[in-house]
Amino acid sequence: MALKCSIVTLFSFLLLLATINKAQSVILDIKKFGGANGDITQAFINAWKEACAATSNVKIVIPKGTYKMREVDVKGPCKAPIEIQVDGTIQAPADPSQLHGVEKWVTIGYVSHFTFSGHGIFDGQGATAWKQNDCTKNENCVRRSMNLGFNFVNHSIVRDITSKDSKNFHVNVLSCNNLTFDGFKAIAPDESPNTDGIHIGRSNDVKVLNSKFATGDDCVSLGDGNNRLVVKNVECGPGHGISVGSLGKYDNEAPLDDFLVKNVTIKNTNNGVRIKSWPSEPISITVTNMRFEDITMVNVSNPIIIDQEYCPWNQCSKKSPSKVKISKVSFKNIKGTSATKEGVTLLCSRSVPCQGVELTNIDLKYNGAPVIAVCANVSPKISGKAPTCTSIKSI
């Protein structure tokens, strides 16, 4: 009987070992795919092709070192899960024209169960592009390449990667489902224009966790058509804060529903948590279930702001109010310091006033004194310690 039990135990162990070995990834070292003068563009593309065609898990490894790479756009669907582990620094061309006008320097698309990992850096070398950026004066300006783009990526994770000095947005997320950024970093000087950390559009169940952003624009920004998004345990600053919008400018925009920002520190930014929409535009969409909780502000110019008269650099008309409908918005347990006396600004649309706005336990100080709240076309519900509204006129 003992012998029989031993045989069964041994068989079980061998079966478990076989299962583990089967689940282990095949390793593809990028150096095996060539790369003259440190340029791994074609090597990256070739490694992806082999990985995507494989029927078992594959890990592409980019080891420590400095590499150059031009634009790449790789996509699935692939036959098995793929992981790209980046431990080195990958540099884009410093000259923006050498990326041939592509919207994103590195694009991953149409894959599921994908992992982007490692402690590597994607260096966009954006300084030259920033000097050429005249978008504050010119609506028809040339948009330079973003560092990373994820299109139609599902059930996937980006872990511990750093995006540095992007020429434009660091990351653009489009039409993704169940995509998580964990331990992600986006870094650029505070004077670098349009270097949003992560911009999310038309996506569901995207999470940004345990991440750090220090950029020249929004740390995290939302376009239209998003549902069930979470930003949690994040450090933001310098930059422009965490923004919903801008919204209401383009045809066929889709509603936003269910956004949670929690356990966040925002430091030395132009704005804290913000919802913004354009006036004098015909687009009518809804924004609902926005929750901003447990947030610390440090020297933030506009800690809490709804701005439905968003019109940067006077590049639009304010002849008529925004048609974006904002409802069920809560600001809860927000403390710290404001760089302006008006620490709470709720500037809603005269056409579609905000509904269901709540201010709960707002403890913000300006020069040691409580901030004031200025409001238009909204009657927020006040709970706990929070400033009451002073009414102002709107368009």
**Residues acting as catalytic residues:** 240
Cα 12 to the center of its chain, rounded Å: 45
In this structure, are residues 333 and 291 in contact, taking their beta carbons and an 8 Å threshold? no
Phi-psi region of 88 (alpha: psi -120 to 50; beta: other; left: phi over 0): beta
**Of 65, 74, 57, 54, which Cα lies nearest the Cα of 19?**
57
DSSP string, 57-97: -EEEEE-SSEEE---EEEE---SS-EEEEE-SEEE--SSGG
Q: What are phi and psi of 285, to 5 degrees?
A: -135, 170
Q: What does the alpha-carbon distance between residue 181 and residue 140 come to, in Å, rounded to a whole number? A: 32
- Report the alpha-carbon distance of residue 273 to residue 177 in Å, rounded: 24
Give yes or no for a contact between 363 and 385, defined as CB atoms under 8 angstroms apart. Answer: yes
What is each CA distance from 165 to 84, 211, 220, in whole angstroms?
A: 21, 17, 16
Dist CA 90 CA 284 (whole Å): 42
Phi, psi of 339 (to 5 degrees): -85, 0
CB 90 within 8 A of CB 121: yes
